[in-house]
A = this chain, B = another copy of it.
Amino acid sequence: MVWCMDVHDTAAADAPRRARGRPRKPPEARDEGNRRRELVRSAARLFRRRGFAAVSTRDIAAAAGMRSGSPFYHFESKSALLHAVVHEGLEQAVRSQDALLQALPADAPAHARLAALVRHHMQVLFGPEGDFIPVMLYEWRALSPAQRSAIARLKTAYEAPWMPVLQALHAAGLLRTEPRLARLFILGALNWTVQWYRPEGPLPPDALAAQALALFLGPPPPVFLETA
């Protein structure tokens, strides 16, 4: 092995350690936990833009202001980084969706509940943390089996609240498709928007959500059916 320190330079070796190489950041700016978060954020952005396999750990390190080997101080592998992106994004999405449903009036009609779920889903896809879930949607394959099943549990938790809402709409005759299939089609149509929709365009995410809802439920909110 070859080292950059010249082993023949005994004077330097015996002298007190001098600062070598590039200057270190002052300790208060390094802020341990945030370095890891910065890696996850950078990885999410790069994975979304170019895909997992096309992004190198060196790219991620550079985006987070580190050297090539440093991501492996925080994560044991590239795929562990992907797992962190997906896991943290999905955990946050489950949390905010649960909070949303808690905030709805207990007697909110199914139509209003579905509207809230669709609107929230678009916020998850295009909000400030908008890289995390698309990475899950499109880079699923790159996870190991063990990682996949950890994610699958969270995904089930995210999708669960959709079912009673779709079942109620189906029972009321407002949804002609079998609820489980309806959920797959609806989430598919919404997830696909990451391929073509730009939130900075003329149509804001909430308006896009309203258009999607109109496609699935046909006529405008038939309030009369719910409020007897």
Contact = CB atoms under 8 A, between A and B. Distances in A.
Interface of A: 50-54, 138, 141-142, 175-178, 181-182, 184-193, 195-197, 208, 211-212, 214-220
Given A181-B208, A216-B216, A218-B219, 19 more contacts: A51-B142, A53-B54, A54-B141, A175-B215, A176-B215, A176-B218, A176-B219, A176-B220, A181-B211, A181-B215, A184-B196, A185-B215, A186-B189, A187-B192, A188-B189, A188-B190, A188-B191, A191-B192, A215-B216
A52 B53 CA distance: 9
Contacts of A190: 188
A54 to B, nearest CB: 5
A52 B142 CA distance: 12
Contact of A54 (B142, B191, B214, B217): B142
